[in-house]
Amino acid sequence: MDLPEVLQWVTIGRKTGSLAFVKDKTKVQVFLQDGKIISSRSNDPTKQLGQFLLFQGKLTEPQLKRAFELHLQTRQTLGKILVEEKMVSEQDIEQALTTRTEEVIYDLFLWEDGYFHFSGTAYNPDELILIQMDINALLFEGIRRKDEWVRIRSVFPSNQAVLSLRPDVDLKSLDLNPLQKKLLYLLTLRKSISEMILELHGSDFLVCYELFQLYEQELIEVHEAIQPAQEEESPAKLFNKGLELMQNRKYKEAISV
């Protein structure tokens, strides 16, 4: 069964429980009530609340580091700490949680392989970020992204591709969104796509999609893929690794990163 068939199966059967999806080290849970998707979880670091807020530009790395320190001291949730410390508004937290939950599910449509398991075991809704997702809208957007991903990969075969601004482009005349401005800056540093994803704390699709829009507008060009140098890990990669360890409660290992 492919993903649309799985989602239609739980919808028609009005299933209550959870679907677990596994691919390599990535694990995703989709929670259901009477055949409707009400929440999701993922161990993908880019789908954690802090990382998502970094990607959206709502939070800085020093702020997130401070929030995690307070989390370790108080055991309060990260979202509550961010609001109480006035780092992020409650509205921004709610919006980020909803969007992040949706992104977890949309990314499943891009998986080329993996396996799933349905469990009818009861779960505690108080521990979930509840959302209301229309299954038809979800299928439409998921399939659209899958088709879009094929187009993106036809231009960027791998995330090791290096891009550059076309020499005849006048940056002052462009109407760019904040993410595109960041991407164009990283292009000047000769960053590969994978390095840009790490720097921005984003997901493959969201970053590659914006790059693809720039390519479609004939603003950037693609160079051959290069293999990353096996040297010291970048600050962004080390930061991501530390966050993932902290989120998995491996605090001593996180401190040593």
Q: Is residue 52 part of a domain?
A: yes
Regarding whether 134 and 24 lie in a shared domain, the answer is: yes
Confidence of residue 241 (pLDDT cuts 50, 70, 90): low
Residue 175 is assigned to a structural domain of this protein:
yes
Q: How far apart are the first and last CA of the chain?
A: 41
Flag whether 254 is in a domain.
no
C-beta separation of 183 from 206 below 8 A: no
Query: Do 210 and 139 belong together in one domain?
Result: no
Asked if the structure places residue 60 within a domain, the reply is yes
Co-location of 147 and 130 in the same domain: yes
The number of domains in the chain is 2
Q: What is the pLDDT, as a whole number, of residue 124?
A: 81
Residue at 123 is within a domain: yes
Give per-residue pLDDT as tens, 227-239.
Answer: 544 444 545 555 5
What DSSP letter does each residue of 5-57 carry, written as one string? HHHHHHHHTT--EEEEEEETTEEEEEEEETTEEEEEEE--GGGSHHHHHHHHT
Please report whether residue 80 resides in a domain: yes
Q: Torsion angle of alpha carbons 52, 56, 60, 61, nearest 10°? A: 40
Judgement on whether residues 16 and 105 belong to the same structural domain of the protein = yes
Residues 161 and 120 in one domain: no
Whether 22 and 84 map to the same domain: the answer is: yes
Does 131 share its domain with 178? no
Do 104 and 33 lie in one domain? The reply is: yes
The bridge status of strand 163-165 relative to strand 26-33 is unpaired
Asked if residue 187 and residue 72 are part of one domain, the reply reads no
Statement: the pTM of the whole predicted model exceeds 0.85: no
Same domain, 34 and 130: yes
If asked whether residues 11 and 66 sit together in one domain, one would say yes
Would residue 228 count as lying in a domain? no
Instruction: Give yes or no for a contact between 87 and 67, defined as CB atoms under 8 angstroms apart.
Output: yes
Average pLDDT over residues 53-82: 91
pLDDT in tens, 70-122: 999 998 888 889 999 999 998 998 888 888 888 999 999 999 889 999 999 87
Q: What's the DSSP call for residue 249?
A: T
Q: Are residues 143 and 175 in the same domain?
A: no
* Structural domain includes residue 247: no
204: containing domain:
156-222
